[in-house]
Structure 1
Amino acid sequence: MKQFTTADPGAHQQWVTHPRGERPEILHHWMSSDQTEPIIRFRGAAICSSESSPLLHHRIFLEFAEGGSLWSLMEARRALKRPIPEDFVWIVLMNLVEACIRMEEVGVVHLDINPHNVLLSTNHDRQGGHWLDVYRPVLADFGKTHPFGEALGPHDTGKLGFTSPEQFEAAIGISNKSNDKVHVYGIGFTIWCMIRNLGSGLEQSLDSNPPRAVFISPQGTNINPAPPAFSPDPRITVRNDVDLNSSKYSEGLEYLIQQCLIYDPAQRITLEQLGERVGTRIFERGMDQSARPADEFALMDTFDEMFVNADDAIEA
């Protein structure tokens, strides 16, 4: 297990100020204190200044994730022209739900969930104390967090291309609050990018005149009823998922992700509902972790590690 220090050239440096004014290393420590949670591990912090700013900054050091990012895996599978195995998609989904539940327990919402910020780590143990001999997806990059239930501002979009409808609306002056529905959309869209192998997200820009954004939202398909009508801002385009009917994944997975992507947060499922449905599906697929040994989750038969660049391993 690699411990980062200020002298380590491989350590990722992250500059953040938490919106509630707390020191950022405290936020990271809170969220990774329970060693069973799928959260990137906090390794330490230093206070420093720079020539460009007289203010002191907190430099945060996080664990090394040997498997790279989820985006790296998607690129590897694209090179192999093979889809990501559905069992692993469910594992990513389960771990993201658990990570977001943990964040809400400490009163914050992650505003930047995307394939670049989900890392594949071997430093995380399973329930029962057994170390995983395969990658576990963990959530990273807490530079964009927001107090739960408070109003979103114009700079709370996260990475454009992956931001939620309510975040983009807040950026163009439409009032919205952060809550579990932001988490649900972020989780759902990350999984949607996995199963569509779309690492760049959707077209979203605040620099254009006027700002423009595209979102995927179910509008009535063969597996999903249309949600109630809505009228988004004319600067926002909401389109159906044209690849849904040719999907290589199960109807149950596709239906659940469509429920996460509903544009109107009032009609979107809650994080609690998502967690319940994921747990049910994992049990139905015979994937409950208590019933199967860790090596059955190995990706070695379907994922060649040589395609992951170690330099991409920490995007947190």
Structure 2
Amino acid sequence: MAAGFAPPKLDEFILTERLGSGTYATVYKAYRKKNSREVVAIKCVHKKSLNKASVENLLTEIEILKAIRHPHIVELKDFQWDNENIYLIMEFCAGGDLSRFIRSRRMLPEHVGRRFLQQLASALLFLHERNISHLDLKPQNILLSSPDRPHLKLADFGFAQYMSPWDEKHVLRGSPLYMAPEMVCHNQYDARVDLWSVGVILYEALFGRPPFASKSFAELEDKIRSDKRIELPPGARVSRDCKDLLLRLLERDPLHRIMFEEFFTHPFVDLDHMPSAESLEKATSLVLEAVKKDQAGDHSTALSFYCKSLEYFVPALHYETDARRKEALRSKVNQYISRAEELKALVASDNKANFERAKSARDLLKELSKDKPRLLAALEMASAALLMEEEGKEYADALDLYQQSLGELLLMLAGEPQGRRRDLLHEEIKTLMSRAEYLKAHLKMKESQTEAASMDRYQLADSVKSSKYFM
């Protein structure tokens, strides 16, 4: 339907402003005429504009949306038709689309991008369990529920297909900028194309432009067909987990790309800590354990439980909508953070004595391991990690070294015969595991504090700018 045409008329609805239009459909904001005055979005498909492929796409969209209900997938409430049009009556999303949201902010803070990614991953997990692939994932097809507290809603299933893991297609679908290389190159492809698209969307959210931003389709096609490995923009400041996920999603070869199961369990996606109605309950259960251990004088275990509880308290803050309850919860969280900091100081003091006790045993173990270069190398790696921790340098790097050395030492332990060296090796592994767990707790607490603080700053900025962004 051309711009300027009056919206069509439906008995039950009043169609108002046009929200957007595509190849064969126009979407309007509408109100239900009955008492509820419910606001909906109505996709009007002009029958004369439909070719065979368009009909198939529309039928697929209706079939899929009728069968699914998920908090992060746009709901199809009903569909109707008359002599001229087919009408899809959809859930209305007042926050516009993700593309507009990113453009209005230029780029998103990592913690905001991560929350949106969790919501998208939640929707994709739901679809994946039903063998459904979207095949046209892009920011324009991701809607936001509201301007002030946006929740992501996956939309536009016109290209979606029921695809078993072994299905392979070679039909060109989707939008080139977000399309996997195997699709652009007209090779066979499978459901993994959606994972590539997720990587492009996350990249654009964090850096303000997609990895293959181009001035022409020819330039875009050359970039996609290139064998050059995807790299993050110079000076990009993102966490290790975020970088790891981005590069594994944006792997050109689908055989080497991250698999769905790995994606859903990746530490940056971390669906277990996604804000939900259960977040506060999980946080409260963990903090009660922390208080018990704290009262019993078990500082290290108490610190661990406090840190684990913060991993759920921060999502609970995101989820809470009532301003008064949110402020009370924030006050409690600050108390727990303060106590965790006090415990961290106490544990650090205990560590100094533990370092000295463990050092003599480690030196003896090294002396007994001169005939085993691989074991000696793993012990040297552990010593380097301990030195980094003692000096308070790069805890994330120290944790990496602990984990690498533990991987080697556990293999050594499995093949070590009974004797003095095995006993010392066993004790050394226990010590290093304890250090690694402590550093994990420290880094998680730091991450939770940073996210809580940046969430405050981001929401304050939003309250000032929201009227500008969502006119």
TM-score, normalisation: structure 2: 0.48
Q: Is 2:240 aligned against 1:274?
A: no
Correspondence 1:155 to 2:314: no
Aligned to 1:114: 138
Q: Conserved in 1, the CA contact under 8 Å of 2:79 and 2:89?
A: yes
1:54-103 per-residue CA deviation (whole Å, 9 max, x = no partner) reads: xxx6432222212211111111112xxxx412111111111111111222
Q: Is the 8 A contact 2:203 2:211 kept in 1?
A: no
The structure-2 alpha-carbon separation of the partners of 1:276 and 1:137, relative to structure 1 and needing over 3 Å to count, comes to: same
Over 3 Å counting, the alpha-carbon distance change for 1:22 and 1:93 in structure 2 is same
Matched ranges for 1:132-281 at <5 A: 134-149=149-164, 150-156=167-173, 158-170=174-186, 174=187, 176-179=188-191, 181-198=192-209, 202-203=213-214, 212-215=221-224, 236-277=225-266, 278-279=269-270
Matched residues in 2 for 1:152 and 1:282: separation? 35
TM-superposed CA distance for 1:292, in Å, is 2.0
Task: Indicate the residue corresponding to 2:5 in structure 1.
Answer: none
Which of 59, 72, 78 matches 1:44?
Answer: 78
- Change beyond 3 A, Cα 1:48–1:213: farther
Checking the alignment, whether the CA contact within 8 Å between 1:46 and 1:60 is kept in structure 2 is yes
The change in CA–CA distance for 1:110 and 1:24 in structure 2 (over 3 A counts) is closer
Tell me, in whole angstroms, the C-alpha distance in 2 between the residues paired with 1:42 and 1:289: 33
Checking the alignment, whether the CA contact within 8 Å between 1:14 and 1:143 is kept in structure 2 is no
User: Helix, strand or coil for the counterpart of 1:305?
Assistant: helix
What is the alpha-carbon distance in structure 2 between the residues aligned to residue 108 and residue 213 of structure 1? 30
Contact 1:67 1:308 in 2 (8 A): no
What is the match of residue 8 of structure 1?
15
1:14–1:142 distance in 2 versus 1, CA, 3 Å: farther
- Rounded to whole Å, the distance in 2 between the matches of 1:97 and 1:8 is 33
Q: Name the residue aligned to 1:70.
A: 98
1:177: Cα distance to partner? Answer: 3.2
Structure holding more strand per residue: 1
| Count of matched residue pairs | 256
Matched ranges for 1:79-90 at <5 A: 83-90=107-114
Q: Which protein has the bigger helix share?
A: 2
Distance 1:22 1:75, change over 3 A: closer
1:211 & 1:301 partners in 2: Cα distance? 38
Partner of 2:469: 308
Residue 239 of structure 1 aligns to a residue in which SS?
Answer: coil
Cα distance change of structure 1 residues 200 and 9 upon mapping to structure 2, 3 Å threshold: farther
Q: Between the two structures, name the one with larger relative contact order (CA 8 Å, sep ≥ 6).
A: 1
Aligned in 2, Cα 1:302/1:266: closer, same or farther, shift over 3 Å?
farther
Mapped partners of 2:309, 2:170: distance in 1: 41
Shift of 1:17: 3.9
Residue deviations 1:227-254 (CA, integer Å, cap 9, x gap)? xxxxxxxxx1243445444113222211
Secondary structure at the aligned position of 1:13 is classed as strand
Q: Who wins on radius of gyration, i.e. which is larger?
A: 2
SS where residue 186 of structure 1 aligns? helix
In 2, the alpha carbon distance for the partners of 1:268 and 1:309 equals 36
Q: Is the 8 A contact 1:65 1:120 kept in 2?
A: yes
| Cα offset, 1:106, TM superposition | 3.0
TM-aligned CA deviation for residue 6 of structure 1: 5.4
Structure 2 gaps of 5+ residues are 1-9, 18-27, 29-41, 46-53, 275-307, 321-451
Q: What SS does structure 1 have at the residue aligned with 2:252?
A: coil
Residue 212 (structure 1) shift? 2.7
CA apart distance, 1:119:
1.3
User: Which secondary structure state, in structure 2, belongs to the residue aligned with residue 103 of structure 1?
Assistant: helix
Answer yes or no: is the 8 Å Cα contact 1:162–1:202 preserved in 2.
no
Moved more, 181-190 or 238-247: 238-247
Answer yes or no: is the 8 Å Cα contact 2:135–2:160 preserved in 1.
yes
Superposed, 1:14-53 pairs within 5 Å as 15=45, 17-18=55-56, 22=59, 24-31=61-68, 33-34=69-70, 37-50=71-84
Asked if the contact 2:98–2:144 (Cα under 8 Å) also holds between the matched residues in 1, the reply is yes
Contact 1:204 1:212 in 2 (8 A): no
**How far apart are residue 204 of structure 1 and its match?**
9.4
Matched with 1:232 is none
Equivalent residue of 2:251, what SS? Answer: coil
Question: Cα 1:160–1:280, aligned 2, differ >3 Å: closer, same or farther?
Answer: closer
**Residue 13 of structure 1 aligns to which amino acid in structure 2?**
K
Change (3 A) 1:193 1:147: same
Contact 2:137 2:198 in 1 (8 A): yes
Gap regions ≥5 residues in structure 1:
51-56, 124-132, 216-235, 311-316
The one-letter code sitting in structure 1 at the alignment partner of 2:152 is: P
Q: Summarize the Cα distance change of 1:286–1:153 in structure 2 as closer, same or farther, 3 Å threshold.
A: farther
- The CA RMSD over aligned residues, in Å, is 3.4
3-state SS of the aligned residue for 1:301?
Answer: helix
Describe the shift of the 1:243–1:273 C-alpha distance in structure 2 as closer, same or farther (beyond 3 A): closer
